[in-house]
Each structure stands twice: as C-alpha cells, then as structure tokens.
C-alpha cells in the first residue's frame, strides 16, 4: 500500500518556483538563452540589471526652489479665496492637485530639484482654477487681452535669455553645453506655455479657456525664471576666459542635417515595412524600429531658430537613430519568412549586450551633454522587459519582440553616440 503524500501548499510551490526562476536568471549568463524555457527568460528580462539614472540635471538651490513653491502656495491661496466668492454647486476648487504638498515634502527632504518640478507642474492646476474664477467673477486678471499682454512680456524675457546665451561661451564643452541645452529647453517650454494673441482669429473665450491661458502663463513665467537662474549659475562656472562655441554648433548642425538627407524619408521606410507579411515577428520588429528611429521632432522644433544648440542636439539624435535603425535591421535574429513565434531568450542576450555597451559608453558619471544625448537609450534598456507594456489580448510573442527591439535599438544607438558627442566637443 502506498502511503498518502502530503499536498504541497501554495506558498511552498510559489517559493520553489521563485527559487527556480532566480537560479535560472543567474544561469542565463552561463547558458545559451534560447535553451531556457520562455517563462523563465520572460521573468529574467525583468531581473537583469538596468541602467542607473544617469541623466544629468543642473543643480537647484534651496532658495530658488523655495521661491517657486512660495509662488505656487500664493496662487493656491488666491484661488481658494476667489472660489469662496463663487456660488457653484456643480464645480469646486481643486488647488494644485496635490503638487503643493509634494513640493513641500521635497523641500523638507532636501530634494530641491524635485520641489521645483512639483511646484512648476502644480502651477498649471492652480492657475487654471484661478483663471476660471477670475473669468466667472469678471475680474481684470481674467481678461484675454490682459492675458495676452502678460504672455508677450514672458516671451520677451525668454527671448532675452536666448540672446544672452547665443554665443555659447564654454570652458568645458561637455559640461557647459549640457547647461546651455537645459537653458534652451526651458525657453522652448516657456514659449509653448505662454499665451499669445492670435491675430487671425476673432473668437470668444469661456471660463475654462481663460483658466488654461492663465495657468499656461503662470508656468511659462516659472520656466523663464529657471532659465535666467541657470544662466546666472553657468556664468559663474564658465568665467571670463571661455571660448565661444556658436560657430562650432552651427557647423555640427549643418553637417548632421546634410547626413540625414542621405537617408530615405520616413514615409519611404514606412512603405517598405507595410509591404511585409503582417503578423510575423520580423514585420513587427521592422515596424517598431521604423517608428522609434524615424521621428521628425528635429524638424518640427525648428521654428525656434534662435535655440541653435537645442536644435542641433535633436538633429544629431535623429541622425544617430537613423544609423541605429539600419544597424538594428541588419542584426535582427528573425527572418521575414520565419515562424510566428519568438523565443524570449533573445531578449536576455540582447539586453545583456546593451548593458555592456551602456557601461562602456556612459559609465557612472558621464559629461552632462553625453548624458542628455544617451538618455533615451538608457530608458530603452530599462523597459526591455517582457510584459512591460503588454496586453493579455495579444500573443505573448509580440511582447517579447517589443522587449528585444528596445534592447537592440538601445545598443545600436549607443554605438553612434560617442561620435555624436565628439562632434560637439571637438576643439579642432
């Protein structure tokens, strides 16, 4: 007679499975990845090392952050007082959407950059409520003409900063160009947020429109304050013996755009992909690579003609992406007529290769400009996980192809960025 064996508990089964997966992950480095079962390598894709948060950000002083948090607090208080005058049971005052509390917590913990970010983000929420109340109460601050005048004043300040940095004096190009990039990025954001008078349209504005305009101006003004603050900090760092880098930036921009012209157009690449047999791993991979590498952001942004460095960096990233696209297509492990399945072991192998290259190219403390150039490549490696953005309504092989392509394109971009970086910092 065979004795009854005790039934394993659910907890013990899960623990055993976890140990098995952990052991398999360790073994990925010593075993051919495609030899392991897909469920094991699916999980291992989440456990492999990811890049550290290498993206450089300019330092923010406590005083600058505290001023921004104070301005947000003033707007929240103003909004609360205005909404107390309104008799509206169908709407309510929402304040800064929780961002004022977050900003104060960040200040308390010493995270000044986080406090500034939360304060700036909260200004749109608080400003919208203030603007709605001003419009409904028929106060001067809710007049579209006054809002346009305020927006124009903000834009004039933004342009003044752009003109002040236009020569790009640098002492250390890899460091200082990173600062100028961040200054110009804030100028662009301010221009997007600030309300401008539209001479081609004769329209009326409702209270919600006024709220959006008021909030946009509030946030744009903070962006300009940030740009002015960063410029002042950078001047102290650069000193009086700096070299002017504007001509070099223009040369890089011109050469990069000339090189881009040698690649097929975005639509040509898309048409080539559309001609492939749909529903295969190869076709999906080609589609993903074309979307990720053939964007047109560097052209859309060119209306900010005075932001030369920002435009040149975006064009250089676009060139690196196009070159990475061709390298990635050549390196694909699947074939056009291959099976309608995909082994997630390829994700493991590619992600490990991408991380090795990331460590060689970026390291632990890259120059500010290099960290800006490679930011997206690090993010690509980070999301190279099976199931990161998956859906239970689609075949699992599609998630595996997504993760594989993220890692592959990151590795190929990281092959290009050292040359791109050298173009900007070369003193020759």
Q: How confident is the model at residue 25 (pLDDT cuts 50, 70, 90)?
A: very low
pLDDT of residue 297: 66
Predicted confidence (pLDDT) at residue 16 exceeds the cutoff of 60: no
pLDDT class of 394 with cuts at 50, 70, 90:
confident
Mean pLDDT of 226-251: 95
State phi, psi for 104 to the nearest 5 degrees. Answer: -65, -40
pLDDT of residue 302: 58
Does the pTM surpass 0.85? The reply is yes
Write the pLDDT tens digit of every residue in 341-392. 999 999 999 999 999 999 999 998 999 999 999 999 999 999 999 986 665 5
The answer on pLDDT for 251 being more than 90 is: yes
pLDDT computed for residue 90 by the predictor: 65
Average pLDDT over every residue of 248-256: 96
pLDDT in tens, 156-194: 999 999 999 999 999 999 999 999 999 999 999 999 999
């Amino acid at each position: 007679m065979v004795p009854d064996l005790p039934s394993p508990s659910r907890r013990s089964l899960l623990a055993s499975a976890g140990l098995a997966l952990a052991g398999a992950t360790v073994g990925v480095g010593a075993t051919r990845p495609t030899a392991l079962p897909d469920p094991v390598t699916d999980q291992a894709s989440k456990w492999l090392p990811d890049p550290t948060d290498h993206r450089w950000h300019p330092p923010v002083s406590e005083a600058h952050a505290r001023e921004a948090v104070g301005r947000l607090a003033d707007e929240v208080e103003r909004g609360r007082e205005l909404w107390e005058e309104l008799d509206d049971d169908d709407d309510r005052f929402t304040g800064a959407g929780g961002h004022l509390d977050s900003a104060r917590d960040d200040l308390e913990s010493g995270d000044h950059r986080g406090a500034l970010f939360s304060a700036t983000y909260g200004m749109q929420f608080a400003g919208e409520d203030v603007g709605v109340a001003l419009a409904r109460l028929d106060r001067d601050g809710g007049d579209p003409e006054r809002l346009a005048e305020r927006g124009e004043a903000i834009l004039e300040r933004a342009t003044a900063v752009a003109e002040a940095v236009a020569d790009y004096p640098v002492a250390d190009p890899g460091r200082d160009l990173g600062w100028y990039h961040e200054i110009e990025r804030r100028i662009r954001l301010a221009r997007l947020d600030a309300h401008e008078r539209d001479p081609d349209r004769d329209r009326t504005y409702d209270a919600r429109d006024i709220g959006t305009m008021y909030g946009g101006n509030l946030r744009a003004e903070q962006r300009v304050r940030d740009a002015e603050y960063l410029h002042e900090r950078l001047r102290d760092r650069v000193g009086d013996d700096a070299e002017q880098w504007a001509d070099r930036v223009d040369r890089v921009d011109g050469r990069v755009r000339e090189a881009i012209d040698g690649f097929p157009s975005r639509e040509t690449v898309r048409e080539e992909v559309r001609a492939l047999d749909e529903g295969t791993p190869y076709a999906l991979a080609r589609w993903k690579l074309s979307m990720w590498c053939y964007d047109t952001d560097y052209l859309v942004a060119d209306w900010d003609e005075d932001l030369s460095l920002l435009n040149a960096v975006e064009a250089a990233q676009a060139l690196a992406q196009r070159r990475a696209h061709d390298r990635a297509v050549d390196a694909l492990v699947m074939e056009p007529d291959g099976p309608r399945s995909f082994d997630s072991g390829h994700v493991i192998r590619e992600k490990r290769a991408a991380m090795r290259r990331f460590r060689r190219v970026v390291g632990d403390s890259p120059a500010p400009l290099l960290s800006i150039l490679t930011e997206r490549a690090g993010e690509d490696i980070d999301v190279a996980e099976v199931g990161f953005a998956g859906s239970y309504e689609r075949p699992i092989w599609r998630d595996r192809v997504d993760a594989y392509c993220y890692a592959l394109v990151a590795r190929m971009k990281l092959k290009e960025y050292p040359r791109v970086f050298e173009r900007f910092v070369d003193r020759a």
